[in-house]
Amino acid sequence: MVCSCWVPGCTNRANGTDKVGFYSIPSVRVHEGDFTKSLSEERRRLWLASVNRKDEPTKFSKICSSHFITGHPSSMYERSNPDWAPTLKLGEMLTPTKSQKKQAEIETKQKRFQRVMKRQETKEKHHAARWAFYFDKTHTAAVTLYNSIRSGTNM
Q: For residue 105, what pLDDT is reported?
A: 85
Per-residue exposure over 66-83, b if at least 16 CB sit within 10 Å of its own CB, e if not: bbbbeeebbeeeeeebbb
Task: Report helix, strand and coil shares of the chain as percent, to nearest 5.
Answer: 50, 5, 45
Task: Please say whether the beta carbons of 69 and 87 come within 8 A.
Answer: yes
pLDDT digits (tens, 9 = 90+) for 52-105: 888 899 999 999 998 999 999 999 999 889 899 998 888 655 455 666 777 788
pLDDT digits (tens, 9 = 90+) for 102-136: 778 888 888 999 999 999 999 888 888 877 777 77
Task: Please say whether the beta carbons of 9 and 91 come within 8 A.
Answer: yes
pLDDT digits (tens, 9 = 90+) for 19-39: 889 999 999 999 999 999 999
Residue 58: helix, strand or coil by DSSP?
Answer: coil
Q: For residue 94, what pLDDT is reported?
A: 46
Q: For residue 154, what pLDDT is reported?
A: 55
Q: For residue 9, what pLDDT is reported?
A: 81
Q: Which region, left, alpha or beta, applies to residue 7 given φ > 0 means left and ψ of -120 to 50 means alpha?
A: beta
Question: Which helix H or strand E contains 62, and what residues bound it?
Answer: strand 62-64
Judged against a pLDDT cut of 50, whether residue 18 lies above it is answered with yes
